[in-house]
Amino acid sequence: MTRSTTKLTLHAAQAIPFDKLVLSQANVRRLQAGQSIEDLAEDIARRSLLTSLTVRPIRDASGNETGLFEVPAGGRRYRALEHLVKTKRLAKTAGVPCIVVPADPGHTAEEDSLAENLQRVALHPLDQFRAFQTLHDQGLGDEAIAARFFVSARIVAQRLKLARVSPTLLDLYAQDGLSLEQLMAFTVSDDHARQEAVWTALARSYSREPYAIRRMLTESAVRGSDKRAQYVGLAAYEAAGGVTLRDLFAADDGGGWLQDVALLDRLTADRLAGDAERIRAEGWRWVEATPDLAYGHSVGLRRLCGESGLSPEEQASRAALLLEVEAIEAQHAAAEELPAAADQRLGAIEAMLEALDERPPVFNPEEIACAGAFVSLDASGRLRVERGYVRPEDESGAGEPGTREAGTEAEGPDAHRPEPATGDGEAAAPGPVGADEAGAVISDRLLTDLTSVRTLGLRDALARDPDAALLALLHALTLRTFYRGIGAGETCLEIEARHITLASAVPGLADNPAAAAIAARHASWSQQLPSLPQDLWAALRVFDHDSRHDLLAHCTSLSLNAVILPHARADRAVSPADRIAQQVGLDMTRSFTPNVANYFGRTTKAGILAAVREAKGETAVQLIDHLRKADMAAEAERLVAGTGWLPQPLRTPEEGDEAPSPALDGVDHGAAAETRTVLPAFLTDPDASALPEAEAWPQAAE
- The pLDDT score that the predictor gives to residue 3 is 67
Secondary structure E strands in 251-370: 257-258, 286-289, 302-304
Per-residue confidence band for 237, with pLDDT thresholds at 50, 70 and 90: very high
Q: Report pTM.
A: 0.56
663 pLDDT higher than 70: no
User: Is 624 in contact with 632 (CB distance < 8 Å)?
Assistant: yes
Please state the three-class secondary structure of 585-645 as a single string: CCCHHHCCCCCCCCCHHHCCHHHHHHHHHHHHCHHHHHHHCCCCHHHHHHHHHHHHCCCCC
CA separation, residue 677 to residues 249, 604, 671, 680 (Å): 50, 16, 9, 10
CA separation, residue 702 to residues 308, 463, 485, 499 (Å): 33, 31, 16, 7
| Stretch among 304-308, 602-606, 656-660 having the lowest mean pLDDT | 656-660
* C-alpha–C-alpha distance, residues 518 and 540, integer Å: 21
657 pLDDT higher than 60: no
Per-residue confidence band for 596, with pLDDT thresholds at 50, 70 and 90: confident
Alpha helices (H) along 102-209: 109-118, 125-137, 142-149, 153-163, 167-174, 180-186, 192-203
Task: Quick: pLDDT tens for 128-180.
Answer: 888 888 888 888 888 888 887 777 888 888 888 888 889 999 888 888 888 88
Q: What is the DSSP string of 432-489?
A: GGGB-TT--B--HHHHHHHHHHHHHHHHHHHHT-HHHHHHHHHHHHHHHHHSTTTTGG
Q: Give, as one character, the DSSP assignment of residue 32.
A: -
Task: Quick: pLDDT tens for 78-132.
Answer: 989 999 999 999 999 999 999 888 876 567 777 777 767 666 666 678 878 888 8
Q: In DSSP terms, which residues pair with 81 in a beta bridge?
A: none
Per-residue confidence band for 424, with pLDDT thresholds at 50, 70 and 90: very low
Provide CB contacts within 8 A for 530, sequence distance 6+.
Answer: 536, 538, 539
- The pLDDT score that the predictor gives to residue 285 is 93
Contacts of residues 209-213 at CB distance under 8 Å and 24 or more positions apart, as own/partner, are: 210/181, 210/182, 210/184, 210/185, 211/185, 211/638, 212/631, 212/635, 213/182, 213/185, 213/186
CA end-to-end span of the chain: 112
Say how many C-beta atoms besides its own lie within 10 A of residue 241's C-beta: 8
| Stretch among 61-70, 337-346, 430-439 having the lowest mean pLDDT | 430-439
Per-residue confidence band for 612, with pLDDT thresholds at 50, 70 and 90: very high
Strands 65-73 and 21-23: parallel
User: Is 591 in contact with 513 (CB distance < 8 Å)?
Assistant: yes
* C-alpha–C-alpha distance, residues 600 and 611, integer Å: 9
DSSP-based three-state secondary structure for 62 = coil
Say how many C-beta atoms besides its own lie within 10 A of residue 137's C-beta: 8
- The pLDDT score that the predictor gives to residue 295 is 75
* C-alpha–C-alpha distance, residues 398 and 73, integer Å: 97
Cα Rg of the chain (Å, integer): 39
Task: Quick: pLDDT tens for 306-363.
Answer: 777 677 888 888 888 888 888 888 888 888 788 888 888 888 888 888 877 777 788 8
- The pLDDT score that the predictor gives to residue 353 is 84
- The pLDDT score that the predictor gives to residue 159 is 85
Please state the three-class secondary structure of 395-445 as a single string: CCCCCCCCEEECCCCCCCCCCCCCCCCCCCCCCCCCCHHHECCCCCECCHH
692 pLDDT higher than 50: no
| Stretch among 38-42, 47-51, 236-240, 482-486 having the lowest mean pLDDT | 482-486
* C-alpha–C-alpha distance, residues 651 and 207, integer Å: 31
User: Is 692 in contact with 602 (CB distance < 8 Å)?
Assistant: yes
Per-residue confidence band for 701, with pLDDT thresholds at 50, 70 and 90: very low
668 pLDDT higher than 80: no
- The pLDDT score that the predictor gives to residue 661 is 46
> 100 or 294: whose pLDDT is higher?
100
- The pLDDT score that the predictor gives to residue 608 is 92
Q: What is the DSSP string of 279-309?
A: HHTTT-SEEEE-S-PPTTTTTT-EEE-PBPS
